Structure 1
Amino acid sequence: MSELPGSGLVARARAVAPLIAREADEIERTRRLTPSVVAALIENGLYRALLPRSLGGAEAAPEAFMQMLEEIAKADASTAWCLGQCTVCAMIAASLDHDTAQEIFNTAPGILAWGAIAHEARAVEGGYRVTARWDFASGSRQASWLGAHVRILRADGTPRVNADGSPEVRTILFPAASATLHDVWQAIGLAGTGTDSYEVNDVFIPERFTAFRDVPSGLREAGPLYRIGTGPAFSLGFAAVSLGVARATLDAAIALARGKHPSLAAGAMRDNGAVQGLIGRTEGDLRAARAYLHATAQAMWRDLSATGEFSAAHRRAVRLAATWTIHQSAKVVDTAYHMAGATAVFRSNPFERRFRDMHAIAQQIQARDTHYEDVGKAILTETR
């Protein structure tokens, strides 16, 4: 069997995880990834996991990408979240001409981040002009380039539309130095991501620094990875982060149970039948969630590699598996947190931060309950 593309990233993630774990308190305190962590991620090529091979990237299979993020998330969720964000953003390189992509991703540090879709850019000679502010730019504090997804206006201010009448949306890219970052990320969890806001004022974006995101006809790269698109890649990546957080939290609860003798209890925690049963059931829940997510990604990748098509069925399957995995991971973290008792509330112990991080993850778009409705509707309207 041939080696999975990007499989070496997993070993490199494990190798840098101890450094990240040591830096986790400082990451939380400063609400930024530390310079040593960023340097380690860059030196080990982890930011380049989904960058095309033609640009020196790993062009990793989804499973390798997911395993990489799991390993980092066990050490620190904020680091894994930023890494997942920026690696998926790099997939847009497949929609840019080679020289433009080379300029963005092969000029150190070669990191791109972006936020949510919002606002408009006005078409002008040779490109676009834009004045706007965007939110939720995880990883922006490490990025050398920023992007934004904007609706396009003609020179007269009327919307430009696609053939089907929908608004034309492009991703615009510009040097981070062109933007002003606003320190707004005061959040319950994922504090170290620095998911701040950013704005530009009358910035000119040359045409070559724009792309139609996730449009197969606009791809320069032939690899199957880029047929998936950034939306499903974000879903798989952030679900993998949730698995890493859940694994680390449950492992901490198991370690605690092995050594703790609760006050007023007759025996050690490890000898309590209720604790034993709870750990067994929770372990099963976590393994089932991980198996489901990875099986979905494997099936999608196998079919995509064979046919070159990322089908609507696979898109729904990824959305369902990612949403359910994040929700199951949150349940595992909740169980481990409550199992730890009063120990869990102290910042000096490995529960409180992971509890907050997991619940911040569960509030993101990838975990919305409406995804179940979308999948359910498709199931009910399918013809057999």
Structure 2
Amino acid sequence: MARDQVVGLARDMRDVVRAHAAESEALRTLAPGIVDAMWSTGLMSSFNPAPAGGTEPSFAEMIDTWIEMAWQDGSFGWIGIANMPSSFAAATYLPDDGFDEVFTAHDNHVTMGGQFFPNGQGVAVEGGYRLTGSWSFGSGTGHAEYVAAGFLPMVDGEMQWVSEGVPDMQVAIVPRAEVEFLDGWHVQGLRGTGSYDYAIHDVFVPHRRTFALFTREPRRGSSPATRMGMMPVTAAGHAAWALGVAKSMLDDVAELAATKFRMSDMASLASRPTFQKGLAHHVAGWRAARLLVLDAFGSAEAAVAAGDDLTPTMRADMRVAAVFATDTARTCAEWAHLAAGTTSIREGSRLERAFRDIYTGTQHAFISEKVAIDAAQVWLGIVDDQFGL
């Protein structure tokens, strides 16, 4: 499969996603028909390193693929930024024997989800860790064979440190059967993502199924993304997801405008100058945000491809672009929702579902105002680096 086909794989999913969107909401996890199609088309593994069945797309290709997926349906897009980066990370950074156990032994047909934040503790024992913890919002775990779980290694009751002020943070890859799912996924939006809470109780995880959360040293794969680590890939996903959902609302309200008439108003919505101005303003804002995202991630990617180090400033630039794109997308969505009037409150419509989705997805801590503050402190020279960027 050629790299430029990845966006096309997502686009080819439109009919399937539309047909199963309501089912996903009712099931509170992605409908099996969509999951099966993601595998049969090759979309599910497309972001993986080549040894794990992927095509190693560029950031521009990943971003446009995620935008397309989120445009189709917010939950489908969220699965794109949950399952696909999770398997990308595990396939890229697991040791060889762990990769063989998880990927090779299953012919690379591995769906993975979960929470990478270190909400667990791993007591060091011979050959690995005894892992215990509880994680919230494990996106994509409803249909995942393996679950990612971030944790802090503990040796003789003490946390471990990789440098001054920076704790050792690891990710464990755990078979589904060893995870207790707590569910709790009764939410306003993104209902079809199976983002269950889960717990792990004193489960042995061998070293071969762990890797460092902030590593940028790939064990397989040759794309610049593999040498940039999980944070840029995750940030690009959040930015693209928000842009995709917002674009669906802008497109839908523009289509609606030709036939939409407000009560006591003989003019169509499309003929009203206030609507025309609002549409122009918000579409322009959306396009500007997308270009910023492509520029920030593309510039960092090009530098890494040329052999340069990924600097704190580059990482700050990417994270701020993601926050800005998210804020812009939310503003576009709010305008589209108001412009559509009562059409946007009809339960089950694309506009109604997208509005719920974007106000759920943009609550995520990864694109919060603290991220912008941390990045600005790097720009201002107040700190040399923020390791979490």
* TM-score bucket (shorter structure): over 0.9
Q: What is the letter of the counterpart of residue 140 of structure 2?
A: G
The Cα shift of 1:32 comes to 0.9
Q: What is the letter of the counterpart of residue 144 of structure 1?
A: E
In the alignment, what sits opposite 1:254? 254
Distance 1:174 1:346, change over 3 A: same
CA distance in 1 between partners of 2:243 and 2:45 (Å): 22
In the alignment, what sits opposite 1:150? 151
With structure 2 as the length reference, what TM-score do the two structures score?
Answer: 0.92
Instruction: Say if 2:118 and 2:170, in contact at 8 Å, map to a contact too.
Output: no
- The Cα offsets for residues 287-332 of structure 1, whole Å up to 9 and x where unpaired, read as 1111111122221221111125222121011101000001100000
CA distance in 1 between partners of 2:378 and 2:167 (Å): 25
CA distance in 2 between partners of 1:34 and 1:314 (Å): 38
CA distance in 2 between partners of 1:337 and 1:202 (Å): 47
CA distance in 1 between partners of 2:267 and 2:216 (Å): 61
The Cα shift of 1:37 comes to 0.1
- The Cα offsets for residues 28-77 of structure 1, whole Å up to 9 and x where unpaired, read as 12111111100111122222233111222121111111111111111111
The Cα shift of 1:132 comes to 2.1
Secondary structure class of the residue paired with 1:7: helix
Structure 1: where are the runs of 5+ without partners? none
In the alignment, what sits opposite 1:315? 315
1:256-275 to structure 2, matched below 5 A, reads: 256-275=256-275
In the alignment, what sits opposite 2:161? 161
CA distance in 2 between partners of 1:376 and 1:165 (Å): 20
Instruction: Say if 2:218 and 2:227, in contact at 8 Å, map to a contact too.
Output: no
- The Cα offsets for residues 151-208 of structure 1, whole Å up to 9 and x where unpaired, read as 1112x32333335464322211111111111111111111111111112222111121
CA distance in 1 between partners of 2:348 and 2:151 (Å): 43
The Cα shift of 1:382 comes to 7.8
CA distance in 1 between partners of 2:183 and 2:209 (Å): 26
- The Cα offsets for residues 260-313 of structure 1, whole Å up to 9 and x where unpaired, read as 122201322221111111111111111111111112222122111112522212
The Cα shift of 1:337 comes to 0.3
CA distance in 2 between partners of 1:35 and 1:218 (Å): 32
User: RMSD value over aligned CA atoms?
Assistant: 2.0
Q: In the comparison of the two structures, how many residue pairs are matched?
A: 379
1:54-133 to structure 2, matched below 5 A, reads: 54-90=51-87, 91-106=89-104, 107=106, 109-115=109-115, 116-133=117-134
Per mean C-alpha deviation after superposition, the further-off stretch among 103-112 and 367-376 is 103-112
CA distance in 2 between partners of 1:301 and 1:338 (Å): 38
In the alignment, what sits opposite 1:350? 350
Identity of counterpart residues, as a percentage? 26
Q: What is the letter of the counterpart of residue 39 of structure 1?
A: D
Per mean C-alpha deviation after superposition, the further-off stretch among 111-120 and 312-321 is 111-120
1:34-49 to structure 2, matched below 5 A, reads: 34-49=31-46
The Cα shift of 1:134 comes to 1.4
CA distance in 1 between partners of 2:366 and 2:131 (Å): 28
The Cα shift of 1:220 comes to 4.8
Per mean C-alpha deviation after superposition, the further-off stretch among 219-228 and 287-296 is 219-228
CA distance in 2 between partners of 1:18 and 1:296 (Å): 33
Structure 2: where are the runs of 5+ without partners? 384-389
The Cα shift of 1:222 comes to 4.6
Instruction: Say if 2:29 and 2:195, in contact at 8 Å, map to a contact too.
Output: no
The Cα shift of 1:101 comes to 1.4
In the alignment, what sits opposite 1:31? 28
Instruction: Say if 2:111 and 2:144, in contact at 8 Å, map to a contact too.
Output: yes
In the alignment, what sits opposite 1:141? 142
Instruction: Say if 1:144 and 1:176, in contact at 8 Å, map to a contact too.
Output: yes
In the alignment, what sits opposite 1:366? 366
In the alignment, what sits opposite 1:178? 178
Distance 1:270 1:366, change over 3 A: same
The Cα shift of 1:149 comes to 1.2
The Cα shift of 1:372 comes to 2.1
CA distance in 1 between partners of 2:366 and 2:159 (Å): 29
With structure 1 as the length reference, what TM-score do the two structures score?
Answer: 0.93
